[in-house]
Amino acid sequence: MIFDTHVHYDDRRFEEDREEVLRGLAAAGVGGAVNIGCDLASSEAGRRLAGQYPFLYFSAGIYPDNVGEAEAQGEEKTLEALRRLLADPKAVAVGEIGLDYHGEDRWPDKPSRALQQKWLRLQLDLAAEADKPVVIHSRDAAQDTLDAVRSDAGRTAKVLHCFSYSREVAARCLDEGCYLGIGGVVTFRNGRKMKDVVDYMPTDRILLETDCPYLTPEPFRGRRNQSSYLPYVVRTVAELKGISTEEVERITWENAIRFYRIAPGDLN
């Protein structure tokens, strides 16, 4: 079975057929998934979905592009709301949190680097307080992300989701104990950089993810992504690592339940 460590089934693109998609995952070989929060509303939506499906869990957190809203609502009010969500038995992580500097020269309303860094620190502290692993989003912010991870060393497990940097940055993240989220980009014809990363990294740090409805793998690129497409990512990883698809599924399943600290029996 496959574990999809990063999904957004609360997204409006699943509005018309969400139940059909979710109920069909087991037949597609997907036995577990974590719905990832990007703000309080999506974190709450993930909590509700996780309550409906035994194989589904959720995370709660404020995405870097949304930290302005959190700041306006108030630091203590936002953090207290996250604490309440993280107290739910099916809350398995804080995330997705992090840094995103992409487009800051074009989008004047994008939260400043300083504000993003503040909320990353606040939520790393929250994760340590709640004793939860962390799902990190990082785009065009490799050094600042590494600095934050390094300063938080030893407090919580971390994954760099949808990892998009070079093999050299991957090596530094791995040295800090991070997992790397690998998804549809590794199947792209122009995905050489990600293929190099997967070829280099140890299998015990790979977490499979879709980030659905985004980043759909080949041969479905351009369509809405969903967890049932993960076997195409599994196949590519297996080819790069020179092992069977069954071995990739077994290893990455074990990685996922270890990272999220899910009891294997809970997914039976």
Q: What is the pLDDT of residues 218-231, one digit of tens each?
A: 999 999 999 999 99
**Other beta carbons within 10 Å of 2:** 24
Q: Domain range holding 72?
A: 2-267
30 burial level (CB within 10 Å; 0-12, 13-18, 19+): buried
Residue count of the chain, please give it: 268
Q: How many domains does the chain have?
A: 1
Residue in 179, 178, 81 with CA at minimum distance from that of residue 130: 81
Instruction: Return the pLDDT at 268.
Output: 61
Compute the distance between CA of residue 152 and CA of residue 97 in angstroms, rounded to an integer.
14
Residue in 98, 186, 190, 102 with CA at minimum distance from that of residue 146: 98
CATH number of the domain that residue 14 is part of: 3.20.20.140
Instruction: Return the pLDDT at 266.
Output: 80
Residues contacting 47, CB < 8 A, separation 6+: 58, 60, 85, 88, 90, 91
- Beta pairing partners, 4: 33
Residue segments in the chain with a per-residue pLDDT below the cut of 50: none
Give pTM, 2 decimals: 0.97
In Å, what is the CA distance from 190 to each residue of 73, 129, 140, 212? 41, 41, 19, 20
